[in-house]
A = this chain, B = another copy of it.
Amino acid sequence: MDYLQNTWYAAAWSEDVVAGTMFARTIAEKPLVFFRDRDGGLVALLDRCPHRFAPLSLGLLEESTVQCRYHGLRFDGAGTCIGNPHGPITKSHVVPSFPVVERHTLIWVWLGDQTRADPATIPDMSYHDDVPATAFNKGYLHANASHLLMVDNILDLTHADYMHTETLGNGWITRSRSRVEETDDTLFIEWLGFDEPPTPLYIPEFAPGTLTDVWLSVLWYPSGAMILRSGMSLPGQKREEGLDTWNSHIMTPETATSTHYFHSSTRNYRVDDEAYNQAMYQGLRWAFETQDRPMIEGQQKRIGNTDILKLSPVLMRTDGAPVRARRMLERQIAAEATPPLRPPVYAEAKSS
């Protein structure tokens, strides 16, 4: 499978990479190892010694260097060999290193052209940063399905009306007005409902019989980072005055048919209620593990090693965002594979 290279992939939650230890994770089929140097700075290296292809993550981390525990080559955080007990160090004694940034409690890695690795393009998930611990929950899940199917799932939230009827769906998303906006780099979809009863999860927050204005939106960054906002307000209220949540749903490809899923939820109500916070966390995991994941892994089995869009699925209005996201991603991957246009030498000669 071709993966987007010039993008920041979420690789881990910040706390997954503990000082003094190494953390191994495969992203887009590349085995990577992450660790912190003596100053706390992050390092991401290919988890493969150039000598015998042994996993560096089984090695020894000493200060800011890692020694392969097979034959003792030592590398610094740039992947430069700084110790070879067996002879001279040549320019081949090097491990590929990758730009890595810690931001918004996540660790992001860049696999592509390093001159283009601008941290400013990391999705703005600053709602992770300044939120009380009791109003913030997050986790990691794994699925044996393409991360593109996992993205489809979030970009068509009407599924909540049918799959998550105990929690998030009561039909309003299907009834809603939705719109999609596309930029060069992102895709945005919003669903707006009016005079809707709250969904089951939110019933306890309102007086019986209350109708609300309700809204949902997803901002997608290729290839799989999504910011999901969801809220509801009484008629006349501003959004910020109602229930307001910011959520991350980040799908990082492990392989063509497996996905690292990072999820989080923050909110502007019951912000001191840790029991509620835990219930929200458990609810999402229950929904994913018993509802979304079996469905998506079932899709994957029926699709096999191909692209669902090549199998003539019936497409509907609600597929607009998922299909546009895939098309945008395909264009970006194709652009990476195409060398930039240059005038041919002959033309240059002629014009001189």
Interface residues, chain A, with chain B CB atoms under 8 Å away: 31, 48, 50-55, 58, 67-72, 84-87, 90, 92-93, 152, 156, 158-159, 161-163, 171, 174, 291, 294-295, 298-299, 301-303, 308, 311, 313-319
Contacts and interface: CB of A to CB of B under 8 A. Distances in A.
Contact of A159 (B70, B294, B314, B315): B70
A87 B159 contact: no
Given A68-B162, A158-B72, A174-B72, A299 B54 contact: yes
Contact of A52 (B67, B68, B90, B152): B152
Contacts of A316: 51, 71, 84, 86-87
Given A70-B159, A93-B314, A163-B69, A295 B87 contact: no
A86 B71 CA distance: 61
B53 A299 contact: yes
A54 B161 contact: no
B294 A71 contact: no
Given A55-B298, A86-B174, 18 more contacts: A51-B315, A51-B319, A52-B299, A53-B308, A53-B311, A55-B294, A55-B295, A58-B298, A68-B162, A69-B295, A70-B163, A71-B162, A71-B316, A85-B158, A85-B171, A86-B158, A86-B317, A86-B318
A77 to B, nearest CB: 19
Interface centre among A52, A53, A308, A314 (most CB of B within 10 A): A52
A303 B174 contact: no
A237 to B, nearest CB: 28
A226 to B, nearest CB: 18
Given A58-B294, A69-B163, A86-B318, A53 B313 contact: yes
A108 to B, nearest CB: 24
A31 B84 contact: no
Given A58-B295, A163-B70, A174 B53 contact: no
A71 B156 contact: yes
A295 B71 CA distance: 11
A181 B159 CA distance: 57
Contact of A302 (B48, B92, B314, B319): B48
Contact of A72 (B162, B298, B317): B162
Contacts of A161: 72, 85
Contacts of A163: 69-70
* List of 6 A-B pairs having minimum Cβ-Cβ separation, nearest first: A55-B298, A72-B162, A53-B302, A50-B314, A92-B314, A86-B316
A54 to B, nearest CB: 5
A229 to B, nearest CB: 21
Given A69-B163, A158-B71, A316-B84, A54 B298 contact: yes
B313 A50 contact: yes
Nearest to A91: B314
A161 B71 CA distance: 8
14 contacts: A48-B302, A51-B313, A51-B314, A52-B152, A53-B311, A54-B302, A68-B162, A70-B159, A70-B295, A71-B162, A72-B161, A72-B174, A85-B161, A85-B171
Interface centre among A92, A162, A317 (most CB of B within 10 A): A162
Contacts of A171: 85
